[in-house]
Amino acid sequence: MGMRAPTGLPSLSRRGRILLVLALIFAALLLVGPRLIDTYTNWLWFGEVDFRQVYTTTVLTRVALFLLVGSIVGGIVFLALLLAYRNRPVFVPVAGPNDPIARYRTTVMSRLRLFGIGIPVALGVLSGLIAQANWVTVQLFLNGGDFGITDPQFGLDIGFYSFDLPFYRFVLNWLFVALLFAFFANLVTHYVFGGIRLAGREGAFTRAARIQLAVIAGTFVLFKAVAYWFDRYTLLSSTRKEPTFSGAGFTDINAVLPAKLILLAIAVICAAAFFAAIFLRDLRVPALATALLVLSSILVGAVFPLLMEQFSVRPNAAEKERAYIERNIDATRDAYGIGDDVVEYEAYSGEGSQNPRESQADITTIANTRLLDPNVLSRTFTQQQQLKNFFGFPATLDIDRYEIDGQLQDYIVAARELSPESLTGNQTDWINRHTVYTHGNGFVAAPANRVNAAVEDPTAEAPAATAATRSTPSATYRRRGRNRSSRSISLVSTTERSSRRPTRTTPSSVLPAPVIASTTPTRPGTPTPDPVVCPSVTGSTDSLSLPSTGSGTSCSRVQSAASRRSCSTVIRANVCRRWRRG
């Protein structure tokens, strides 16, 4: 049986190539066209306000970053591919007639320029598009300066943390990305062209593959050591103690900072181990170095600070964090220009000698004290000002200030907006949705410093009668003189106040006939209820027999004598009211 020749990618006809090129051009226009239009519009607008140079600087910085980062990333990836291809084995053993690697190798060899140039260009363009968004970091680095103030931990100028450190981390991040792409590109290329064979347990590496991969990995770990060095400075922007304070705390300085130095030393040792693989054929050395770096990052970089925070700082946080909180307070005062060299501090007892109501400076403030909460008022607006079922108000209302009749006052405001989800029936068809119910109607404003009295339900007769006759004391405030600031509290019962009110008179011919309440037989020993005497508006009295289910039974369950008298009073009032209404 003959071996089947490996096949490559199917070839396109001339017409297919033309269509493919046109499709790529159309896709490029869809992606780039809106950007070009936006750029031209901004260029015209900045020119109108005489700041075109600012926009030009922004655009040039973006373009420069795109070209620079794209060239560096693409160039490093291209170099890794080129070295792997140039140092490929001359004779590549084939595992069998159906070896998939041989098919991939034939495909790559048939389109060598497409893979050798297309992959670096694609990765470079993608990296450049992402990197150009960091143009602010580059401009701050180029135009930054010194503040003349040093930090208390490292003694460096604050300008280093604001302008230089972000740029250094930006450069390191893109070097990490470039080396990571280069490592995988070199690894795959060696594997496809036979530089790496996965035969047996350990596999086999050619000398070129071992050297190139060791150099790339060692350089990556060496840059990681540099990153650990710069990580020390980022501790001054730590958020571990937020929201109490921001910046370095006790754990950051006494645990994380030494951990960064330890990890830096371990990273240098691991990088040396990778570079040693250039001369040593044993790959266990860089493998152990990688395991050591990962394990130390977990134990030293994460577990050790966590243990110190839990068992050393939290039990005595006030004492441990005192110095670092003072640093944060001093930095905040200096940033706002309210330090000891600018502001003079005086002792203030906090006791005022004047009544706030008589202070002219506080009259407007007290009058505009907000009583309404915009977070809970939406339902009230909806109940009183909805008008139609398809209108509504937002869940959280707004606060605004208006001058009405010469007086500036706060208002809770909202627009009566259309609520499409409230449409029902034929309101939901296409014509109504797009031609009729298209917008809201009106603007509602409520004074924020006033609350309307609760509206009582006129149908709730029993609670109203009970409230009119109950004897629960209520507090009323009475002013004693105009010039006195003190006020006294007088407790007056509601029954006493209601008895002082004048009685409403009605012609006797309009009064309904008296209604005798039906009685039920009582068992022996049951106390006979007292008759209810209802005074009429004409001055005469009519006696009604109270049912046994009234004061005799219901009120007898009340323990206190005063409460039983109040209960009987309520029931008599209810009976009299029913008799008057007929």
The residue behind tokens 């300066």 is 145
Between the CA of residue 182 and those of 65, 155, 189, 268, 513, what are the distances in Å? 20, 38, 10, 21, 106
pLDDT of residue 5: 47
Q: What is the pLDDT of residues 217-249, one digit of tens each?
A: 999 999 999 999 999 999 998 888 788 888 888
pLDDT of residue 271: 92
Q: What is the C-alpha to C-alpha distance for residues 19 and 399, in angstroms, rounded to an integer?
A: 59
Query: What is the three-class DSSP state of 438?
Result: coil
- Cα-flanking dihedrals φ and ψ of residue 206, to 5°? -75, 165
Q: Which residue from 177, 165, 46 is spatially nearest to 123, judged by alpha carbons?
A: 177
Tell me the mean pLDDT in the region 393-418. 89
Looking at residues 543-567, what average pLDDT do you find?
Answer: 47
Q: Which two tokens stand for residue 472?
A: 């629960």
Residues in the chain: 582
Contacts of 310 (CB under 8 A, 6+ apart): none
Residues 36-85 have pLDDT tens digits of 888 889 999 999 998 999 999 999 999 999 999 999 999 999 999 999 88
Task: Return the pLDDT at 232.
Answer: 92
Residue 90: pLDDT band with limits 50, 70, 90 = confident
CA distance to 48, 495, 543, 578, per residue, from 219 (Å): 50, 92, 109, 98
For residue 129, the Cα-to-chain-centroid distance in whole angstroms is 28
4-16, pLDDT tens digit by residue?
A: 444 444 566 778 8
pLDDT at 426: 84
**DSSP bridge partners of 491:** 475
pLDDT on residue 564: 52
Residue 174 pLDDT > 90, yes or no?
yes
Q: What is the pLDDT of residue 192?
A: 85
| Distance in angstroms (rounded) separating the CA atoms of residues 519 and 120 | 103
Indicate the DSSP class of residue 400.
Answer: E
**Residue 160: pLDDT above 90?**
yes
Average confidence score pLDDT of the chain? 76
Please give the residue that has the higher pLDDT: either 123 or 192: 123
* Amino acid found at 86: R
* 579 contact partners, CB below 8 Å, separation of at least 6: 512, 514, 515, 534, 542, 544
pLDDT of residue 505: 37
Radius of gyration, alpha carbons of the chain: 43
Q: How far, in Å, CA of 541 to CA of 487, rounded?
A: 43
Could you count the other beta carbons within 10 Å of the beta carbon of residue 29?
Answer: 11
Identify whether the C-beta of residue 534 lies closer than 8 Å to the C-beta of residue 563. no
pLDDT digits (tens, 9 = 90+) for 467-477: 333 333 333 33
Q: What is the pLDDT of residue 74?
A: 93
Residue 130, classed as helix, strand or coil, is helix
pTM for this prediction:
0.59
Return the H-helix or E-strand segment holding 226: helix 207-234
Does position 173 have pLDDT exceeding 90, yes or no?
Answer: yes
User: Taking a C-beta distance cutoff of 8 angstroms, is the pair 529, 547 a contact?
Assistant: yes
Task: Give dist(CA 356, CA 362) in Å, integer.
Answer: 6
| pLDDT for residue 431 is more than 90 | no
Looking at residue 535, its amino acid is P
User: What's the pLDDT at 169?
Assistant: 95
